[in-house]
Amino acid sequence: MTMAPAPAPGDEGGASMPAATPGAVSPASRAGVDGRPLLRVEGLKVHFPIKEGIILERHIGDVRAVDGVTFELRKGETFGLVGESGCGKSTTGRAIVRIYRPTAGRIDFDGVDIASLEGAALRQMRRRVQMIFQDPYASLDPRMTAGSIIAEPLEIHGIGTRRERQDRIRELLPLVGLDAAYGVRYPHEFSGGQRQRIGVARALALDPDLIVADEPISALDVSIQAQILNLLQRLQGRLGLTYLFIAHDLAVVRHISDRIAVMYLGQIVEVASSRDLNTRPLHPYSVALLSAVPIPDPAVEMRRQRIILRGDVPSPAAPPSGCRFHTRCWLRERLGNPERCSAEEPVLRELESGHAVACHFAEDVAGSVEQALVTGRRVPPTAIPAGGDATGGEVFVPGDATSEVPPGTPVLPEAAPGAE
């Protein structure tokens, strides 16, 4: 046995992936992002009927899991879809690979509307769109060897001879950081992280253009998560893949994505570059979501002020009127509960270049103390709400601590919104 060349603890897969961009992978400047849309989702709706009665089923309502979602994926980019459970992010992903049939809307993949494709045309499209699932224990058939799992997509699509498929397995295993000889083993012989690598290899088998990764690391241990994230980034650099990365963990999504859409109750409330969302979130929900992410730094955690949202996410079968977030919104409360929020549904509007938000009062979020508090800008002590930070000095939260809050920032009249 020989040692790996040079100390390269982060160099996962080591020699197996020489073509991967060494060291730095910069999502923003990654080669291959050429701006051409690969996927355009327009007004996508996926509703699940609620039925009552056993013999005479009556349709009594719909769970509006996805309710009018529009976004675009450029070739070679990673687009993050983030939100809490029940927000429709997974349903959106599953509709794109056509596990679900959309209720309404268009899904243009490379110029073809795939929302209503059937039969051979659908199968043809699926060769180019593959999926990585959350649970590496449930998504691999325990009775198939790793090799046959990886080769199954090739068999289904009738690609290659048996020998060629064997060669492809031996090529794919090292690509995902597994020994080429592991193809004969069964899933239970692998650890969780290794299983997820098999899931990645299976998704790569057909050489797809787009990979929908639905919570690909949330079932893994912390120390293993980074292995899979790095693997995905390297594969993208090497194979020019486009990712739709779906996750609930904002820190992870922020790390891997070029652009991010934040979802709430079946709709997109904000779309921005990863950096803009991090430094200038413009939707009250995004601000709250950012503030809720625990930061592994006690100095920050002690001084930080959370926006505690009141209550739970309402049911997608009976979403609130107007803006769906209005029942929990801290900004609405501050503004004296304007009627517009509960009466009129806000549309996604581009407030800044490449930064769209669905909020009637998004202008009030820009420059608010809350926005500054969660993004790490310095806030004059006078602007800190009562009952908040007691250190007396400046409040600092990580992020891009470059800009100051402009003078004249309104002082909050009351305690932290939503705090009990």
Partner 1 sequence: MSLLDVRDLIVRFRTADGTIHAVNGVSFELEAGETLGLVGESGCGKSVTNLALMRLLPKPAGRIEGGQVIFDGLDLLTLSEAEMRDLRGKEIAMIFQDPMTSLNPVLTIEEQLVETIRAHRRVSKADARRRAIALLEMVGIPTPEIRLRSFPHQFSGGMRQRVMIAMALALEPKLLVADEPTTALDVTIQAQVLDLLGRLTTEGGTALILITHDLGVVAGMTQRINVMYAGYIVETAPTPELFGHPSHPYTVGLLHSIPKVTQRDDEELIPIEGRPPDMRQAPVGCPFASRCTWRLEVCWTDNPSLRPVQAGARLVTTGPEATHQIACHNPPTAEEATAGRPVRPGFRPAPAPAGRMDELVLLAEGPA
Interaction with partner 1 in 197-236: which residues (CB under 8 A)? Answer: 221-227, 229-230, 233
Structure token pair of residue 273: 């570059």
Q: Which is nearer to partner 1, 298 or 407 (CB)?
A: 298
**CA separation for the pair 329, 288 (Å, rounded):** 9
253-312 positions binding partner 1, by CB under 8 A: 254-255, 274-275, 278, 288-289, 291-302, 304, 306, 308-309, 312
- Least separation in angstroms between residue 398's CB and partner 1 is 4
* Among 36-44, 54-62, 243-251, 350-358, the segment contacting partner 1 (CB under 8 A): 243-251
Residue 390 found at the interface with partner 1 (CB under 8 A)? no
Q: Which is nearer to partner 1, 124 or 191 (CB)?
A: 191
Structure token pair of residue 288: 């709250």
Q: Which is nearer to partner 1, 4 or 386 (CB)?
A: 4
- Least separation in angstroms between residue 315's CB and partner 1 is 10
Residue 417 found at the interface with partner 1 (CB under 8 A)? no
**First CA to last CA across the chain, in angstroms?**
61
Q: Which is nearer to partner 1, 301 or 350 (CB)?
A: 301
Q: Which is nearer to partner 1, 12 or 364 (CB)?
A: 12
Residue 191 found at the interface with partner 1 (CB under 8 A)? yes
Q: How many CA atoms lie within 13 A of 341 on its CB side?
A: 19
15-74 positions binding partner 1, by CB under 8 A: 15-17, 23-29
Q: Which is nearer to partner 1, 91 or 233 (CB)?
A: 233
Q: Name 44's bridge partners.
A: 69
> Residues 269, 357: contact at Cβ < 8 Å?
yes
Total residues at interface with partner 1 (CB under 8 A): 76
> Residues 397, 300: contact at Cβ < 8 Å?
yes
Q: How far is CA 16 from CA 10, 11, 72, 180, 189, in A?
A: 13, 10, 33, 10, 22
Residue 10 found at the interface with partner 1 (CB under 8 A)? yes
- Least separation in angstroms between residue 376's CB and partner 1 is 8
**CA separation for the pair 105, 113 (Å, rounded):** 10
Q: In what order do the strands lie in the sheet with 349-352?
A: 129-132, 210-214, 242-247, 78-82, 259-264, 267-273, 355-357, 349-352
Which H or E run includes 69? strand 58-74
Residue 119 found at the interface with partner 1 (CB under 8 A)? no
SS3 assignment, position 296: coil
* Cα-to-chain-centroid distance, residue 406: 32
Backbone dihedral angles phi then psi of residue 271, each to the nearest 5 degrees: -130, 130
User: Going residue by residue from 149 to 188, which x/- string records binding to partner 1, judged by CB under 8 A?
Assistant: -------------------------x--x-xx--------
Residue 354 found at the interface with partner 1 (CB under 8 A)? no
- Least separation in angstroms between residue 5's CB and partner 1 is 8
* Among 45-53, 107-115, 244-252, 337-345, the segment contacting partner 1 (CB under 8 A): 244-252
Q: In what order do the strands lie in the sheet with 104-109?
A: 58-74, 37-52, 104-109, 112-113
Q: Which is nearer to partner 1, 107 or 229 (CB)?
A: 229
Q: Which is nearer to partner 1, 339 or 420 (CB)?
A: 420
**CA separation for the pair 412, 414 (Å, rounded):** 6
- Least separation in angstroms between residue 43's CB and partner 1 is 27
- Least separation in angstroms between residue 9's CB and partner 1 is 4
Residue 1 found at the interface with partner 1 (CB under 8 A)? yes
Residue listed under structure tokens 């400047």: 29
Residue listed under structure tokens 């939100």: 83
- Least separation in angstroms between residue 368's CB and partner 1 is 18
**CA separation for the pair 286, 239 (Å, rounded):** 32
Residue 84 found at the interface with partner 1 (CB under 8 A)? yes
- Least separation in angstroms between residue 2's CB and partner 1 is 7
- Least separation in angstroms between residue 284's CB and partner 1 is 12
At CB < 8 A and 24+ separation, what contacts does 180-184 make? 182/146, 183/145, 183/146, 183/147, 183/150, 184/145, 184/146, 184/147
